[in-house]
Amino acid sequence: MKKEPFVNKEQLEKITKEYPTPFHLYDEKGIRDNVKALKEAFSWNKGYKEYFAVKATPNPYLIQILREYGCGCDCSSYTELLLSQSIGAVGEDIMFSSNDTPAEEFALADKLGAIINLDDITHIDFLEETIGRIPKTISCRYNPGGLFKISNDIMDNPGDAKYGLTTEQMFEAFRILKEKGAEEFGMHAFLASNTVTNDYYPTLAKLLFETAVKLQRETGAHIKFINLSGGIGIPYRPDQTPNDIKAIGEGVRKVYEEVLVPAGMGDVALYTELGRFMMGPYGCVVTRAIHEKHTHKEYVGVDACAANLMRPAMYGAYHHITVAGKEDAPCDHMYDITGSLCENNDKFAIDRMMPEIELGDLLVIHDTGAHGFSMGYNYNGRLRSAEILLCEDGSTQLIRRAETPEDYFATFDSFPIYETLKKNIEDAKK
């Protein structure tokens, strides 16, 4: 089976004349169509808001597109808070969900007026000591423990995760926070990652809604919102069926009306913090075949590496690969597609049946729009690539330039060696 790239060979040949490979390419039309479908799916909930998970794709130009549709920012670090502030996301447009949080991050989140989502009951006192009070609106991350199942299928193991408060701690935390002056409360949970099933959100929602009813009844805390967080996945493999966001929204609506409305909680706003679902399918890595190797296996070396896309090396994650212009050619050659890092796991595909690849061919690595560029790193001194937006009218916009050796050495700028490094860079260009 095959996946259809959002860009064809003719377009790629034109783009690569202006921007050298490798680079990350994003599909503006796909991003816009997807966020509109999400908003429509949850339009039945008056207070619904999507807080895009900045960690997934921390590019202000892309997040600004989502902001046009009313999306906020889900932040988990100091720099993500600064990025969000820079595009005008302040106050309740920011959900700050972090763990093992330094004091200065809580302080900045409070300064920006963000909604703070606490990961642990001990953070109540830590937050109060840091900012001098408990905010009027506060949220807590919930971890019920055990295994999270849908029917008889185990989706994930929350009991083994480092995040969130236990059931007993949630009740205690709400009582303590209420005594300390909190007036509006939120709940948050992330119990499974990258689910490709329309049942995940409704199942999670039922668990959260039932817990919320008990919390409000037993603690007297007014629950203003319930955050379903992320977890809606994408079909990385061509034989997988995509999630139907309309069906997911309808499934959550049914549970909302079954559980919250009869409890007098029909005013509770629903929030989501999607990253992969929002951007994943609308990004790809474009790379070129530059070497071939015939030893114990057949290898094709490309000019991208795990520094550009870590997921296959880190998780053994599958990303489909299309050879531009050979979409309909028979997949009768078996390759490992490799990068140049001094690590044997620097492979984008292993024993992958593909069309015959010739040197100079352009390869499209699919579904890298989330947790792609953002997980990049500089091992071996490799530099992270540019990010380019394929605009709706077919034009392109550079939205992040490629790193340079000057960037790599920039943190030596207060040391004597820096002048030598700069001279070496200039000499190398001659």
* 407 φ, ψ (degrees, to nearest 5): -65, -45
Q: What is the pLDDT of residue 147?
A: 73
Q: How far apart are CA 239 and CA 299, in angstroms?
A: 25
Distance of CA 199 to the CA centre of its chain: 20
Task: Answer yes or no: are the C-beta atoms of 312 and 348 closer than 8 Å.
Answer: yes
Structural tokens at position 427:
């000499």
Q: Is 222 exposed, middle or buried (0-12, 13-18, 19+ CB in 10 A)?
A: middle
Ranges of the chain with pLDDT below 50: none
pLDDT in tens, 151-192: 656 566 777 888 999 999 999 999 999 999 999 999 999 888
Q: How far apart are CA 409 and CA 418, in angstroms?
A: 7
Stated as kind and residue range, the H or E segment containing 83 is: helix 78-86
Nearest-10 Cα torsion for 191, 197, 200, 203: -140
Q: What is the pLDDT of residue 159?
A: 73
Q: Domain map of the chain by residue range?
A: 28-278, 281-411
Q: What is the pLDDT of residue 313?
A: 94
pLDDT in tens, 220-263: 999 999 999 999 999 999 999 999 999 999 999 999 999 999 99
What CATH topology corresponds to 281-411? Lyase, Ornithine Decarboxylase; Chain A, domain 1 (2.40.37)
Q: What is the pTM of this model?
A: 0.95
Q: Classify 28-278 by CATH class.
A: alpha beta
Residue type, 348: F
Stated as kind and residue range, the H or E segment containing 140 is: strand 137-141
DSSP class of residue 232? B
Cβ-proximal residues to 15 (8 Å cutoff; 6+ apart), any chain: 7, 25, 286, 388, 390, 396
Q: How far apart are CA 146 and CA 358, in angstroms?
A: 50
Question: Parallel, antiparallel, or unpaired for β 137-141 and 184-188?
Answer: parallel
DSSP class of residue 403? P
Q: How far apart are CA 19 and CA 252, in angstroms?
A: 44
Residue 235 CB-half CA count within 13 A: 14
The 10 Å Cβ neighbour count of residue 384 is 19
Closest of 283, 307, 304 to residue 369, by C-alpha? 283
Q: What is the pLDDT of residue 209?
A: 98
Count of residues in the chain: 430
